[in-house]
Amino acid sequence: MSKTPADNHTPMMRQYFGLKSQHPNQLLFYRMGDFYELFYDDAKRASRLLDITLTARGHSGGIPIPMAGIPYHAAENYIARLVRMGESVVVAEQTGDPATSKGPVERQIARIVTPGTISDEAFLEEKRENLLLSLAHQSRKGLDIFGFSYLDMASGRFCLFEVDGHEALSSELQRLSPREILISEDFPARATLKLEKGISELGPWHFDYESSYRQLIQQFSTKDLSGFGCEAMTAAIASAGALLQYAKDTQRSALPHIQSIMVEHKDDSVLIDGATRRNLEIDINLTGGTSNTLVEVLDKCSTPMGSRLLKRWLHTPIRDLNEIQARQQVVAELQQNQSYNAFEAPLKKVGDLERILSRVALRSARPRDLLRLRFALEAAPEINGLLANATSERLQELNLRILAQPIITETLAKALVENPPSVVRDGGIFAKGYDEELDELLALSTNATDFLAEMERSEKARTGISSLKVGFNRVHGYYIEISRLHSDQAPVEYIRRQTLKNAERFITPELKAFEDKALSAKSKSLAREKELYEALLEQLNEILGELQTTSQALAQLDVLNNFAERANALSFTCPELHNRGGIQIVGGRHPVVESVISEPFVPNDLDLNDKRSLLMITGPNMGGKSTYMRQIALITLLAHTGCFVPAESASISVVDRIFTRMGSSDDLAGGRSTFMVEMTETANILNNASKNSLVLMDEVGRGTSTFDGLSLAWAAVDYLANKLKCYVLFATHYFELTTLADQLENAANVHLTATEYEDEIVFLHKVHEGPASQSYGLQVAQLAGVPRDVIGHAKQKLKELEVVTGIDLDTKTIETKANSSSIKAKTKEHLVKESKNGYQPQQVDMFAQAEQNALKNALEELDLDNMTPLEAISALYKLKSQL
């Protein structure tokens, strides 16, 4: 931005600065003729982001003006690219007439496009919600309370809730994955957001509770907010008011499609933290892509809005048994006789009704949106007919909410041409016969072609000029064109209008009169079409609430119909959910792994109950421990969405949270090592799990020294089993931990099996009772492609370590050694003794022990009785040199 005094700038640049000052942090697209221009810092930023040329446009205040420009007809593509990068764009259009303007052409802000407030189809991802999130912070009784409110502008869904603590803040941010976040300039947890783009900072006054409260009751025309159940959520209300005002400012609209607030409560859903979402790969895999995820396997929905709802259900599994069972009954009914097939075709006609309605409400719907709306409404009666004999209560409810709209459907059918234009300004929207006045105006334009053809024929005959043509262009209007060779034969009444290289163009009084009439008709017909279009949008807005109800019901039907199709195609079964405690699964499978492997998936069982709530899982790497644990979590999650599950049978007590501590990676941006990340996730589990939580922990303690890691893992298992008593799957390579099953009354050992065949390891992927008997570490390393020389050296070193330590480290006998009570007793005795002496145990150095044994052997081999003093001193120096 220029710091030169305003008086030193040209009038046009002063106009630019006036508009820019209203939106200092957003890119200003400033319309100048056929281009949108950006100046100063905006130009530099746009040049870098869009890879467009940075140039200069003269001087202003004596300083060159950095400038970048894009053609107006390509602006939408550039704006879409910027929005996807997290940028916000303000578009200033010319509203004055350049021909009559004495100073700079008048310009006004026409629209504001931000990542979280877009509703245009071209900017949106079809199967992803586009959320605008607002956060407010309050301190209550020493707790950090974060108020959340979020809006999907493209559907009108508006929700709020509160959480306490930074861990919950981070978890919810990952669940919602917003495109844009609104925060106060003094927001205290800025670092937790971990975003560089898509954050808009507002003045603290925007989050004032009193003004936010008034903003909400004004939007919903209510006396207070008690009917929504959020009166006590002061932080959430503060955030919601700021969000609502921001959305109105950017849309320059009253937002009529936002008709209610949905309040979310912590106890309504199964809570899943950020680490668990990553590990379960619900819709994003561990490498950041979308392939081989749960959503990819499950999403065969017929509509985009169904796909978005499915993803929302998977990210927010519910705990309400009545709601879960209602969904299950629908899936079971639709699965019978494969009746789900009948719904596929009419649902595909529905399309993205949800987003079309939001554009109708915002008056930004395009003609083709209304055509698709017509198709959706035509499908409603067909779907009503299919649901007429439904027996499940939920399907009957959905049928009542899918409202056929025969009047507006017929109106749309009569009004629109079969292939309407993409934008209103082009005209040609309405079918002949819909409006008499429009038909008359269009007839004048249509007859122009016939008139021009007849005039050209008659003028050729009258003048005898064979090269004579009659035509039209947007700049000069209608004209008679004669080649330069014959131009001297033009009749005297021809008035020269334009000279070209090879021709002259003329106008006649008759042609000028027709031009005035035709152009006036064209202008009037476009104005009439715009008028009719606005009236059609108004008619639709009068029943917007009913249309939104229909849209929501159709989206639910689509997801449940999809569940039925997936259950049949993937051999899923209906789980029993209850509050009796315990998780029993027979023949469970991992839905994603099963879909990508070529050989049959090996199913496994699970039995967790009050007397057996913790399973210690051992077995070789690559043996299937992580897959087994993840499939249990995914089956549990799916069961809480109402979906059938990949198992022969499943009986699952409702859980309140699902935790995972699996895998490892550095958090470089947060300055945390792999071990620190591991311990943070472990702490979150130990601090927040309850008796009704499902906990999956893999390789706890491996990021530090052997004794430290073993001690931490031991203590964590003891805490989970004795204090929390939650459902736990604990995978480990610390075979010493398998002895805990003998000490803890509610713990048991299971293991994944493998075998060797012709010096190669074969993983059987089957879960059996008891601890593992083999580790197969060197065999797995060989499978991974470790060079044979290294494997051979490792085997040799393993034998040496067995000799020097006195411990049999052969992978085939680890279980026996690990389970020996003597080793357990010695380890425990050693830790207690050294702790009393104030000694901190160090990592065991087995290679140092090997060196000590070599020196011992060398000393024992010396024949001191037969050595001279000189030989003895020489031998001593030699031994000393080996230290």
pLDDT digits (tens, 9 = 90+) for 408-437: 999 999 999 999 998 898 899 999 999 999
Q: Tokens at residue 708, please? A: 């430290």
115 is in an annotated binding site: no
Strand 55-60 and strand 63-71: the pairing is: antiparallel
**Pick from 608, 601, 567, 603: nearest CA to 587:** 603
Has 622 been labeled as part of a binding site? yes
Whole-number CA gyration radius for the chain: 37
Ligand-binding annotation for 624, yes or no, is yes
Residue type, 877: Y
Whether pLDDT at 405 is above 50? yes
Residue 619 marked in a binding site? yes
pLDDT tens per residue, range 522-544: 888 999 999 999 999 999 999 99
Evaluate the CA torsion angle 832, 833, 834, 835 in order and state its sign.
Answer: positive
Give start and end residues of each alpha helix (H) in 85-184: 166-176
pLDDT (mean) for 23-48: 93
Per-residue pLDDT at 668 exceeds 80 = no
pLDDT of 592 above 70: yes
Q: Among 268-272, 339-343, 349-353, 731-735, whose mean pLDDT is lowest?
A: 731-735
620 annotated among ligand-binding-site residues: yes
Whether the pLDDT of residue 809 is over 80: the answer is no
Q: How many CB atoms lie within 10 A of CB 64?
A: 11
Residue 517: predicted pLDDT: 82
What does the pLDDT read at residue 786?
Answer: 82
What type of residue sits at position 306? G
Task: Tell me the Ramachandran region of residue 51: left when phi exceeds 0, alpha when psi lies from -120 to 50, beta otherwise.
Answer: left
pTM, full prediction? 0.83
Question: What pLDDT, on a 0 to 100 scale, did the predictor assign at position 366?
Answer: 95
Q: Which of 257-271, 455-469, 570-584 has the highest mean pLDDT?
A: 570-584
Whether 626 has a binding-site annotation, put simply, is: yes
| Residue 831 banded pLDDT, cuts 50, 70, 90 | very low
**Residue predicted with more confidence, 862 or 344:** 344
Can you state the angle between helices 544-569 and 321-335, rounded to 10 degrees?
70
Query: CA-to-CA distance for 130 and 611, rounded, in angstroms?
Result: 46
What is residue 780's predicted lDDT score, i.e. its pLDDT? 72
Helix H or strand E segment including 588: strand 583-588
Please list, in sequence order, all residues whose beta carbon lies within 8 angstroms of the beta carbon of residue 482, skipping any fewer than 6 positions away: 465, 467, 468, 469, 489, 490, 503, 504, 505, 506
Amino acid occupying residue 505: R
Percent of the chain having pLDDT more than 70?
88
**Which tens digit of pLDDT belongs to each residue from 335-393?**
998 999 999 999 999 999 999 999 999 999 999 999 999 999 999 999 999 999 999 99
Q: Is the pLDDT of residue 858 over 80?
A: no
Mean pLDDT of 459-465: 92
**Per-residue confidence (pLDDT) for residue 1, from 0 to 100:** 54
pLDDT for residue 826 = 42
Residue with tokens 């309407």: 420
The token duo for 148 is: 């959340």
Overall average pLDDT of the 785-805 stretch: 75
